[in-house]
Amino acid sequence: MKRILILSAILGFSAVSGSAVAHEHDHEGMEMNAKAAVAEGRGVVESADQAKGVVTLTHEPIPSLNWPAMTMDFAVEDKALFRKLVPGKTVRFEFIKQRNKYVVTGVK
Ligand SMILES: [Cu+2]
């Protein structure tokens, strides 16, 4: 009898902690999606440094982020994108905020 009680207590506990874990997971997923939100912009490539993984763009205003037009650096982690990041060219680009930097994830 005692064993059955202990067993059901263990099962009851694990069921509760199991749902708590699932809830935390949902939350993490939501925050990650918010951070990974993709913004789009259009701008002129000023310079591109493949070795450093940095592109300088003079971009048009980006209303979704409340950004005015400006010249700024973006990180580029996918080296293949440098084929399209040719200085003097106007490009449409996608980027995400990653920690404290902006990372270009796509170039058209
Ligand atoms: Cu900017």
Q: How far apart are CA 86 and CA 89, in angstroms?
A: 6
Average pLDDT over residues 24-43: 64
Residue 15 has pLDDT above 60, yes or no: no
Q: Cα(98) to centroid of ligand 1, in Å?
A: 15
Q: Cα(87) to centroid of ligand 1, in Å?
A: 17
Q: Cα(19) to centroid of ligand 1, in Å?
A: 42
Residue 27 has pLDDT above 50, yes or no: no
Report pLDDT digits (tens) over 52-108: 999 999 999 999 999 999 999 999 999 999 999 999 999 999 999 998 899 999 999
Q: Cα(68) to centroid of ligand 1, in Å?
A: 7
So what's the pLDDT on residue 99?
A: 87
CATH (residue range 39-107): 2.40.50.320
- Taking the CB of residue 107, how many other CB atoms lie within 10 A of it? 22
DSSP 79-98: GGGGGT--TT-EEEEEEEEE
pTM, two decimals, is 0.67
Q: Can you give the C-alpha Rg of the chain in angstroms?
A: 23
So what's the pLDDT on residue 1?
A: 60
DSSP 6-53: HHHHHHHHHHHHHHHHHHHHHHHHHHHHHHT--EEEEEEEEEEETTTT
